[in-house]
Structure 1
């Protein structure tokens, strides 16, 4: 059995996340209780309201607190990945699994990132839309053509290449609306508006990128101790890569998850465990594995019962 850990991004959070873990497992409880802002984080996770939890400055550290605690619980059961990958914020979870920073530093970094992304988004009125049924190449080319004809006043770009046939565009409200009409004419199956609290993974996050650069200068990162796929490149971290530069780039440029998944599916990994609420990342993986008729096992850890089932499955099949 060869295992990959997958980590969810923003949008997967839900009120009540982690409460069953907290009530049942001392390890999870101790992880959260020992955080400097643990009480605030627990309130957002367990009680919400959803509007507060979904503000990126709260979402990011809540998701990190959950993911890091569960990752350590799995390690205590001698369940560790050969490879790690995450979606956007989830990349920070993958790096945690790879030993790039400790738990407190992981939550502190995502707290900082969330705060700076929240500030960078202030006053910027943008829209985001998932384009289904068109190739990433067509979506990219169409956005570039639109921009060349309209200029920065009608900014629109691809913020996420999620999986085969699904890309997400982000830009000014009018530009996104026009592009939705263009994509429908080009044969898109659907165009679905995505509710987010800011124009993430676009040039509007430059201030957040600059802030992260300063943060990493004061808090240098360790090198990953296992293979990690990076969103900004679509490829594995390579010896000598400047990881901090990749994370600075990631916050203000396209997430190349589709390429990350292609790399995973071309490997000998046969078991995938998504850590975090929802099944977004594993859903993309499942769709792309079917396209190439590859038989893999996908597991999810959203609840305490999920966790126990995963531990049981892995131990029975090692």
Structure 2
């Protein structure tokens, strides 16, 4: 038997608010933490009451309709294919962490609550490590990933508490994050709860660390070359090493800044040859191993199992994937994409260029550091981006 499933929410609901539901005959209304949309039929709501319907010009609160067959909701994965961005939230990835982050969060109750929830889930005082370090501990994969996830969402609450902050949050119509930041973006977009996202990020960090420990691998940033030249550099290095030490481009950040991952000997060969390819410099990255390559394959099965057990919903706004630089609406597809993400190159350069080409007017980087702002500015000097740090 088929039933129509209507989901409604107001984007003013804080991240820490619990989900509530109202069941009607053959129709269920699930209140989400933020807006959900669909390209088939929209009902505009005000204070949870339907007042009209149309196909565009959606209000802050919207109802998303999908058909459910049995217990499985059938969602068109191309729901957001024709998205037109105006305001974006961008979330940082591993490497953005710095001792001292999270200090401002203590002054905002909703931010402080997130760190308290994190302590309960993780079993240690994450805020203390964020603020006081030591740096070596904060930089470890198993700590830095949860720390950046929580701190970035704390930045959302910090913004919400400012004058005009809620209006900015309400205006966001697309979001994405760099590698780990994709989980943060999905949490912000209501695809899963803060708690479930943190549990996934915790497991992701542990699984990636274990995969890194199982092989001698590394990452290095190549500065000053375009992607074609970096690929040629990788090809040259790969001619000198065995299969276990091969390298590849792992992060397409922006023109002149690409990260290469692979076996340690392969990375060393890249560093040795970089100047002959006219690279300005190389920077060995302080990460556990060759992220976003086949070296992370051992982490995939653990991620798949965790994702299968996690409730994931259609995001309320487009969330751009690192794997293919496209937004996905189908929860089962999102699960597959997240499992593939750790072994797939990050397509951040394509993501930023696509957002700008589609008319993006303003971006906000939420969380520690200003790496993303730098990348966006390198892509387009005229791009407007503001950092909301904690």
Q: TM-score over 0.5 for the alignment? A: yes
In the TM superposition, what are the counterparts of 1:17-96 in structure 2 within 5 Å? 17-22=101-106, 24-35=107-118, 36=120, 37=122, 39-74=124-159, 77-80=166-169, 81-96=172-187
Structure 1 Cα separation of the partners of residues 216 and 240 of structure 2? 21
**C-alpha separation between the residues in 2 aligned to 1:4 and 1:145?**
39
Q: Give, in angstroms, the shift of residue 197 of structure 1.
A: 2.0
Over residues 60-102 of structure 1, what are the superposed CA-to-partner deviations in whole Å (9 max), with x where a residue is unaligned?
A: 1111111223324545723321111111111111111211111
The residue aligned with 1:118 is 209
**Given the alignment of the two structures, is residue 221 of structure 1 paired with residue 312 of structure 2, yes or no?**
yes
**Which protein has the larger Cα radius of gyration, Structure 1 or Structure 2?**
2
Cα separation, 2, equivalents of 1:210 and 1:87? 22
Alpha carbons of 1:241 and 1:284: their partners in 2 closer, same or farther (altered >3 Å)? farther
SS of equivalent to 2:380: helix
Greater helix share, structure number: 1
Deviation at 1:198, TM superposition (A): 2.3
Counterpart-to-counterpart distance in 1, 2:274 and 2:327: 31
**2:105 matched to 1:13?**
no
Cα distance in 2 for partners of 1:119, 1:89 equals 17
CA drift at 1:240: 7.9
CA separation of 1:105 and 1:73: change in aligned 2, threshold 3 A: farther
Range with greater deviation from structure 2 (240-249 or 281-290): 240-249
SS, match of residue 320 in structure 2: coil
Distance in 1 (CA, whole Å) between partners of 2:99 and 2:219 is: 23
> d(CA) in 2 for partners of 1:238 and 1:151?
41
Aligned residues: 298
Counterpart in the other structure of 1:246? 337
Q: Report if aligned partners of 2:297, 2:343 keep a CA contact under 8 Å in 1.
A: yes
The Cα of 1:11 is off from its aligned counterpart by 0.9
Q: CA, structure 1 residues 49+149, in 2 after alignment: closer, same or farther (shift >3 Å)? A: closer
Change (3 A) 1:26 1:153: closer
Contact 2:219 2:289 in 1 (8 A): no
Shift of 1:38: 6.7
Structure 1 segments, 4+ long, off by >6 Å, are: none
Contact conserved, 1:158 with 1:170, CA < 8 A, in 2? yes
- Please report the RMSD computed on the Cα atoms of aligned residues, expressed in angstroms: 2.1
Higher relative contact order (CA 8 A, sep 6+): 1
Higher alpha-carbon deviation: 88-97 or 240-249 = 240-249
Q: Secondary structure at the match of 2:155?
A: helix
CA distance in structure 2 between the partners assigned to 1:198 and 1:283 by the alignment: 24
Return the alpha-carbon distance in structure 2 between the equivalents of residues 182 and 130 of structure 1.
Answer: 13
Alignment partner, residue 160 of structure 1: 251
Partner Cα distance (1:185, 1:220) in 2: 50
Q: Between 191-200 and 87-96, report the one with greater CA deviation.
A: 191-200
Match of 1:311 in 2: none
- In 2, Cα distance between the equivalents of 1:11 and 1:172? 20
Is this contact kept in 2: 1:235–1:259, CA < 8 A?
no
Mapped contact 1:129–1:194 kept (Cα < 8 A): yes
Which deviates more from structure 2 when the two are superposed, residues 172-181 or residues 157-166?
Answer: 172-181
User: Which residue of the partner structure matches residue 307 of structure 1?
Assistant: none
Q: How does 1:154-193 map to 2 (within 5 A)?
A: 154-193=245-284
Which residues of structure 1 form unaligned runs of 5+?
304-318
Is residue 246–residue 266 contact of structure 2 (8 Å, CA) maintained in 1? Answer: yes
Is the contact made by 1:126 and 1:199 (CA closer than 8 Å) also made in structure 2?
yes
Cα separation, 2, equivalents of 1:144 and 1:243 = 32
- The structure with the greater share of residues assigned to strand is 2
Residue 306 of structure 1 corresponds to none
Q: Could you tell me how far apart the structure 2 residues matched to 1:69 and 1:250 are?
A: 24
Aligned to 1:299: 386
Task: Give the Cα–Cα distance (whole angstroms) in 2 for the partners of residues 2 and 38 of structure 1.
Answer: 39
